[in-house]
Copies of this chain bind each other. A is one copy, B any other.
Amino acid sequence: MKTNRVGIKKKAIVLGCAAIVGLFACACNSQAQTPGETPYKRVLGADLLITNATIVTMDGERHIFENGYVWVREGKIVSVGPTSELQMGYPKGFYKVIIDAKGKLVLPGLINGHTHAAMTLLRGLKDDVTLDEWLTKYIFPAEARNVNEEYVRWGTRLAALEMIRGGTTTFVDMYYFEDAVAQETKAAGMRGVLGETFIDFPAPDNKTNAAMLSYGEQFLKKWRGDPLIHAAVAPHSIYICSEKTLRDAFALARKYQAPILIHVAETKKEFDDSLAKNHLSPVAYLQSLGLLGADVVAAHCVWVDESDRKLLAAAQTGCVHNPSSNMMLASGVAHVPEMLAAGVRVGLGTDGPAGSNNDLDMVEEMDLAAKLQKISKMDPRALGAKEALEMATIEGARAIHMENEIGSLEPGKKADLIILGLDAPHSVPLYDVYSQTVYALKAGDIETAVIAGRVVFRNGRVLTLNERAIIAKAREYGKKVQASLK
């Protein structure tokens, strides 16, 4: 055991400060040893070690370790580096889980910066119609007749299942019954920034603004300090919320230092209406109310101009680009390269999986983000694979103001990561890991997902959810929704 301690110490020095900090933390913990556990498991043990993989860190220097390891302890990354630096003299049982990921790819878990998870149950209900027809004839009636807490639970479970399988480890949600969403997200072992929706008409959960505020406050209080759930407030948009509703929602969020989620400048109509009504663009209007800030996550931001970009960058407001949704609903093309150049934080999202996507596939979203910019600018250099992957990881983390916790594989960060197989016909040969990930690999190549150090997906099974029951229930809801529209 002494040798092991020395071994660890020697390695810790090689691996830098974070590992050393980890070691000291362990030493303290040794006092609280559980009876029956081998001491070194508590003292020096790691929860998870992934070895022999290509590690794409997305850290500040964008290090890629061709044969690297990730060492995880108590939900956090202890260190990352070349496997050769690991001194493999430990007894096998030293790590609770060792994954030999030879020939595989390890990436930070993907961050879906904007969705409405429970809308999975309306996936493909109606497509290829105008936004207005889609909303008024299908989505609103279907929601009015079907959405209740139980529905939201099952819809969130289905979404979590699809997202985990697709490599998403953190998602940002705006819906109703958000406390149920939070419970189901936590049960699925996912990380969520979950916003209870504020609108100026009766919602499926809360029928008045007072009820929304009360529900919202309770929701924020309940989840304060939770390691996985970040309770948020989600005033829908400047066109569905009055100035008062916006101010109330923002004030509530800021009272609890909670994130604020809002749709901003999604459509030309929203932009034109804001100009007409407020004599300001949607972004400038929010700014004029003092509502832009480093706690805001603004979904879409399609219709923003140069001065809007300056406001967004200065306020450190996060923007979330949703290429699939913007294409599907013909909302417009966000000026992503210009936003990035202006210093705006830009993440990536799928939007809801009903009528505006229709899935929760962040790997496809990266591919689409790059290709959409190229064709819009008529320049293949407009947005590249590396930038697209950044938007789904470290830039996405910045957009949702969690860049100190997630988005890259670095010592001290939450251990949210995914492992992709590289043995499919579409995965070979491999010349450039960014290109391959964005333009060739598929969500289906994801073999393992780890969230907060916990393996939630492995060997074809999501370990936190009852897949069969969820899919059966989704089919049941599908029939119910269809019948409700007849």
Contact = CB atoms under 8 A, between A and B. Distances in A.
Contacts of A479: 429
Contacts of A377: 330
Interface in A412-452: 423-426, 428-432, 435-436, 439-440, 442-444
Interface stretch (A228-236, A312-320, A355-363): A355-363
A224 interface: no
A384 B128 CA distance: 5
A375 B333 contact: yes
A165 B425 contact: yes
Given A126-B432, A359-B439, A444-B442, A162 B378 contact: no
State the 5 A-B residue pairs at the shortest beta-carbon distance, nearest first. A429-B478, A128-B384, A444-B444, A327-B371, A162-B425
A382 interface: yes
A374 B327 contact: yes
A328 interface: yes
Interface in A127-148: 127-131, 134
Interface string A109-139: 0000000000011011111111100100000
A424 B360 CA distance: 12
A144 B411 CA distance: 45
Interface stretch (A6-14, A47-55, A196-204, A468-476): A468-476
A378 B123 contact: no
B425 A161 contact: yes
Given A375-B372, A439-B358, A471-B423, A429 B121 contact: yes
A326 interface: yes
A388 to B, nearest CB: 10
A330 B380 contact: yes
A223 interface: no
Given A378-B330, A442-B444, A426 B478 contact: no
B428 A474 contact: yes
Contacts of A183: none
Interface string A235-277: 0000000000000000000000000000000000000000000
- Counting every copy of the chain, the complex holds 2
Contact of A124 (B127, B425, B440, B467): B440
25 contacts: A123-B428, A124-B430, A124-B431, A124-B439, A125-B431, A126-B431, A126-B432, A126-B435, A127-B435, A128-B384, A128-B385, A128-B386, A129-B381, A130-B380, A130-B381, A162-B425, A162-B426, A166-B426, A329-B380, A330-B374, A332-B378, A353-B440, A358-B435, A359-B439, A425-B471
Given A330-B380, A372-B327, A361 B124 contact: no
A278 interface: no
A363 to B, nearest CB: 10
Contacts of A226: none
Contact of A375 (B158, B326, B364, B374): B326
Nearest to A480: B429
Contacts of A123: 426, 428-429, 431, 436, 440
A61 interface: no
| Of listed A328, A377, A479, residue having the most chain B CB within 10 A | A328
A427 to B, nearest CB: 8
B429 A127 contact: no
Contacts of A361: 426, 442
A89 to B, nearest CB: 32
Given A158-B425, A442-B444, 4 more contacts: A124-B435, A328-B439, A330-B379, A368-B368
